[in-house]
Amino acid sequence: MVQRTGERERCVTGIEGLDTILYGGIPRANTVLLTGSCGTGKTSLALEFLIHGAMKGENSLFVSVTENSEKLLANIIPYKFFDRNLVKSGRLVFVDLPIMYERLGMVKPELSMEEIDLLVAAMGDLVDELGTKRLVVDSVTSVCYKLKTSEKIRDFILKLAKTLSDRDCTSILVGEVPAGSSAYSSFGVEEAISDGIILMANMERRGDLLRTLQVIKMRGTMHSRAKYVLDLTPMGVLLVPLLKGGSTV
């Protein structure tokens, strides 16, 4: 029997299959890169993580970078468990990052080191103010486009992860990679700094396109490294093991 030592407190995602893969959930205060190409279900999964948190009484924050949060809410899968009162009560909060940029006076296409510090501090303040325990940034890749260099990206993610971790906030940074890419991130920096990587992909098998999920790394817990097939349903994200059919590749 495997002895579990030094067990860390878990942030139960509420996505049953994922919690099983992670032996109980994401270790609390971890920063996880949820990466994949478009149409793989990253935003839906991240949102479900927040909704389950809010339903459990954990204040949850969605930081939208690319899509207006009103539009996002209108387009999400009509989850049967989603109660709009979670938004009305402030348990689940949506913030548009472009509005934050504007308020912080960050109008230039590229952020300076000082502005990175200012942005991270502003996010920390927001987390403090809202008592946030779960946070999603969708997508961190879009933020990285304003940082341009690897040094700045590294600096931003390191500082953001530390700020959130110090506040006991578990976070998911949504990353985008081009379709067919074997990399885990667009800039090659994000994955090295994150505590965990969850890779979502489209996998073609004999002409069928399957949505897959695989946990590549997760600090602080044992986890399955197998590939799973997922479906986005009104009952949430469902997962089953990918069938191998005797395949050796």
Partner 1 sequence: MTPAMSPQMIAQELSEMPPGSAVSLQMSVDNYLDVIRGTLDLFANKREMDTIYVTATISSEAIRRVLEALDISSSRVYFVDCISHIMMGASSAQQDEHTTLVESPTMLENLMLKVEYLIRLSQSKEKLVILDSINSLAIHNNNWILSEFLHILVSGLRSKEAYSVIFSVEEHTTPEISNMVNLVCDHSIHVGKDAGREG
> Under the rule (CB under 8 A), what is the footprint of partner 1?
205-206, 208, 210, 229-231, 233, 235, 238-246
> Least distance (Å) from partner 1 to the CB of residue 247?
8
Residue 72 vs 229, nearer CB to partner 1: 229
Residue 23 vs 145, nearer CB to partner 1: 23
CA distance 12 to 32: 14
Contacts of 50 (CB under 8 A, 6+ apart): 60, 61, 62, 92, 134, 136
CA distance 231 to 184: 21
Residue 89 vs 233, nearer CB to partner 1: 233
Residue 99 vs 240, nearer CB to partner 1: 240
Q: Please tell me whether the peptide bond between 139 and the residue prior to it is cis, using omega within 30 degrees of 0.
A: yes
> Least distance (Å) from partner 1 to the CB of residue 50?
20
Contacts of 140 (CB under 8 A, 6+ apart): 33, 65, 157, 173, 174, 175, 190
> Least distance (Å) from partner 1 to the CB of residue 238?
5
8 A C-beta contact, residue 112 and residue 120 = no
Residue 72 vs 238, nearer CB to partner 1: 238
Residue 129 vs 208, nearer CB to partner 1: 208
CA distance 133 to 130: 9
> What are the CA-CA distances from residue 189 to residues 33, 69, 95, 157, 167 (Å)?
11, 27, 25, 9, 23
CA distance 245 to 206: 13
> Least distance (Å) from partner 1 to the CB of residue 45?
14
CA distance 29 to 192: 17
> Least distance (Å) from partner 1 to the CB of residue 43?
19
> Least distance (Å) from partner 1 to the CB of residue 40?
15
> What are the CA-CA distances from residue 142 to residues 11, 64, 66, 166, 195 (Å)?
26, 10, 7, 24, 20
Residue 86 vs 210, nearer CB to partner 1: 210
Q: What is the gyration radius of the CA atoms in the chain, in angstroms?
A: 18
> Least distance (Å) from partner 1 to the CB of residue 231?
4
